[in-house]
Structure 1
Amino acid sequence: MPAAKVALSTASVYPESTAAAFEIASRLGFDGVEVMVWTDPVSQDVEALRRLADAYGVPILAVHAPCLLITQRVWSTDPWTKLQRARSAAERLGATTVVVHPPFRWQRAYARDFVSGIWRMAEETDVRFAVENMFPWRYRDREMMAYAPGWDPTDEDYRHFTIDLSHTATSRTDTLAMVDRMGDRLGHVHIADGQGSGKDEHLVPGRGDQPCAELLQQLSANRFGGHVVVEVNTRRAMSAAERETDLTEALEFTRRHLLRGESCDSSPGGRAARP
């Protein structure tokens, strides 16, 4: 087993429930889960999540704050209240990380104070607020900048980052160059894949064109101290068995390349070192 823990995002089992994600994570041998807080009432209920973690013996390693368009009314319509509740949930559940997206451009007051506000909240807790890289929205030949201050969090001064390899594919970003810019502030990884289309694909790692294997080996060689979370799209699976086949493949791919990295020397330049 690699030193870095490999968790299952509860979003990876959609349209199955949050509760189903805990059962699947336990049976397939994941080290924990990242809870995507969304419209499923269980994902919003700290006590229900605690009972699931205890029942299946699967710790909650991270909480993904409700930052999606479909979750704008989850845990309040005020974005700072959402983050405060995410921090409280993480503290009560023993999670080390809150994953947060940059604001939408139309959230003007929130966007204006986001960088300083994230720093302020981070200084009030041991929980990491890891800001995730996003992407421009595209339709045919048009591109919309939907996030502010921007979709690339390395343009700003944050204490911790989340790298998502489906998002680097969608934004057509050089993934390893972004990881270099994040440096020792890289605190969390969403492992997935993509082919650079206009869609956020979240393919099983190894099925797209992202440097998933290289990144995992690099992280492990540099003794990465965060968590690696499998966040893939299985909604097109024709059966529960097909979904679990995809998740098993993703887990095995991730662990295999983390283990390969442990046998390598640390790469020059301190890429993706321990946060």
Structure 2
Amino acid sequence: MCLIILVRLPTVKAEGPGVALRLGAVAHQAPAPLAKVALSTASVYPENTASAFRIAGRLGYDGVEVMVWTDPVSQDLDALRRLSEREGVPILAVHAPCLLVTQRVWSSDPWRKLSRAREAAEALGASTVVVHPPFRWQRGYARDFVAGIRRMADETDVRFAVENMYPWRYRDRRLEAYAPGWDPTDEDFPHFTLDVSHAATSRSDALAMADRMGDRLGHVHLSDGSGSGKDEHLVPGHGTQPCAELLARLAASGYRGHVVAEINTRRAASSAQREADLAETLDFTRRHLAVPGGGAGAAGRPVPAEEAGP
């Protein structure tokens, strides 16, 4: 039970505000869950991709999810590999450039973007590519999206995990911005990403969505939300979403996917406060993923992946 302490304590490299919280977080991370806890590089914005690797290594995250965006380093496989090796932090997932601000990153062709993301994941040793549903105005892409994702998934061991989004709202107006829709469980995708903040924004029941995803739930973006209609990405426990219950259910089922901290720290008053928020998120996640026996079944054995559910 002390293995995590022995492994993680040497990674605390900095002093100052937040160090006591980091040490406290490490001290009770037992028993170890089957799921790996990663840091999304988007969580350190407006700091850059390199900062995310440093923070992930310092705090003791199991790895990172690389958000491919306008930061040149996030697009450079050699630079990402060097960061991973230098900080001792593996790359567990690649988030394809699906945002409005990344429409021309890695090509303006959305299928080429996904091919590049798969190539990056394969080259960097990541098991998952996270992808958003198409925007409605991407008509050809949207029309072929479900069949195309299934076809690409059949060509690689990398999982294409389609993420739940939300309707856009402005005052009393609601815009359906995604096609076939913002809820991927309406379609037959091989794998899903459950984003808890997006569930809050769409005013969906995150636990019910996890149930619908079933054993195809392979990736979780963990953050909180208040259901305000804004995509808040709060520190878990700071909103109204069932973050703790979701993690406990994942742990009890023997979930072997990734749980990725994807919080919004852009309004942090300082780098120290940003790091403290990320340490708190890691602590929350590890505590609620920890179950007696480390996720073992009734006979003391790990639950096989094919038996695992949400």
User: What TM-score do the two structures reach when normalised by structure 1?
Assistant: 0.96
Alignment size in residue pairs: 273
Deviates more, 1:257-266 or 1:112-121: 257-266
Is residue 280 of structure 2 the alignment partner of residue 245 of structure 1?
no
- Following TM superposition, where does structure 1 have runs of at least 4 consecutive aligned residues deviating by more than 3 angstroms? 260-266
Q: CA RMSD in A?
A: 1.9
- The superposition leaves residues 154-187 of structure 1 with CA deviations (integer Å, 9 ceiling, x where unpaired) of 0000000000000000000011111110000000
Structure 2 CA distance, aligned partners of 1:156 and 1:70?
A: 26
Is residue 184 of structure 2 the alignment partner of residue 158 of structure 1?
no
Is residue 47 of structure 2 the alignment partner of residue 12 of structure 1?
no
**Structure label with greater radius of gyration:** 2
Q: Per-residue deviation at 1:273?
A: 2.3
Q: Per-residue deviation at 1:4?
A: 1.1
Unaligned runs of 5+ residues in structure 2 are 1-31, 298-304
Structure 2 CA distance, aligned partners of 1:2 and 1:103?
A: 34
- Is the CA contact (8 Å cut-off) linking 1:139 and 1:198 kept in structure 2? no
- Is the CA contact (8 Å cut-off) linking 2:33 and 2:295 kept in structure 1? no
- Is the CA contact (8 Å cut-off) linking 2:96 and 2:130 kept in structure 1? yes
Structure 2 CA distance, aligned partners of 1:242 and 1:96?
A: 31
Question: Where does 1:87-236 land on structure 2 (aligned, <5 Å)?
Answer: 87-236=118-267
- Is the CA contact (8 Å cut-off) linking 1:34 and 1:64 kept in structure 2? yes
Instruction: Work out the percentage of aligned pairs sharing the same amino acid.
Output: 75
Q: Per-residue deviation at 1:143?
A: 0.3
Instruction: Please give the secondary structure, in 2, of the residue aligned with 1:39.
Output: coil
Structure 2 CA distance, aligned partners of 1:261 and 1:98?
A: 31
Q: Per-residue deviation at 1:265?
A: 8.4
Q: Per-residue deviation at 1:3?
A: 2.1
Q: Which residue of 2 aligns with 1:273?
A: 308
Instruction: Please give the secondary structure, in 2, of the residue aligned with 1:70.
Output: helix
Instruction: Please give the secondary structure, in 2, of the residue aligned with 1:98.
Output: strand
User: What TM-score do the two structures reach when normalised by structure 2?
Assistant: 0.85
**Cα distance change of structure 1 residues 61 and 274 upon mapping to structure 2, 3 Å threshold:** farther
Instruction: Please give the secondary structure, in 2, of the residue aligned with 1:30.
Output: coil
Structure 2 CA distance, aligned partners of 1:261 and 1:205?
A: 22
